[in-house]
Homo-oligomer: A and B are copies of this chain.
Amino acid sequence: MNSNSKLDNRDRAVLMKTSFMQGLSTNSAIRVLSAMSVLNLPVRHSIFREGEKAELFYCVLSGYVRLYRLSHEGREADIRICGPGDSFAECLLYSDNAYAYNAQTAEHSALAAFDMQMIRDIASEEKDVAQAVMASLSRHLLSIIDCVANDRLFTAPQRVANYILARCPVDGGPALIRLPFQKSLLAGMLGLAPEALSRAFSTLRKSGVTVRGRAIQVVDVANLRNV
């Protein structure tokens, strides 16, 4: 398989730190890379649609990808937001052969695209590749379980607080973090309309959360845990 563009050093570093590729032997890594090509896509570009025959799975090198489903009436629901290092559609390696959701770039993005059949073949020969696939699948499963539990257990302000806390240093005290993407993406990720996210932030003001653009300031991390 040939590459649509070269794998630059930054992209290569990200790719090697993926849960899918980290820890592979040199030999396996070379074989896996030969089943891969790099795509550079503009913002809001469709990667695949639900129901299409699945022949490639992907790993995000830079940018963000939105995975979503459509209702009959055309409403969209985000299932997952993938950032650098995340892979998606690898759940189809050993199941159905049609994509289970739509994927589109949320920003200008670089993706590694892996040929499913080639990876299947490699995984059946190289134990460490099979193990990498299992590790990657496990990680996803756990993160989606978190997503279901969050949706069902917590209110919008609580979900936002959880998101912030997961990105703060563990101790108490003040913290300053920066959103890696637009708020509307975060909203979809948390299963909220953008308006609801905005209101959740404003609810959190009384818990010491200040938002200006993508910058989020927390007066006291320990305090935010009580929300």
Contacts and interface: CB of A to CB of B under 8 A. Distances in A.
B94 A131 contact: yes
Interface of A: 69, 71, 75, 77-79, 91-96, 100-101, 123-124, 127, 130-131, 133-135, 137-142, 144-149, 151-154, 191
Nearest to A70: B153
Contacts of A93: 134, 138
Contacts of A77: 148-149, 152-153
For chain A, what secondary structure do more than half of its interface residues adopt (helix, strand, loop), or is it mixed?
helix
A19 to B, nearest CB: 9
Nearest to A69: B149
Contacts of A71: 153-154
Nearest to A96: B142
Contacts of A127: 124, 127, 130
Contacts of A79: 145, 148-149, 152
A145 B151 CA distance: 13
A127 B123 CA distance: 9
Contacts of A123: 130-131, 134
A139 B145 CA distance: 14
Contacts of A137: 91, 134, 137-138, 141
10 contacts: A69-B153, A75-B153, A79-B148, A91-B141, A94-B134, A94-B138, A96-B142, A124-B127, A137-B141, A141-B141
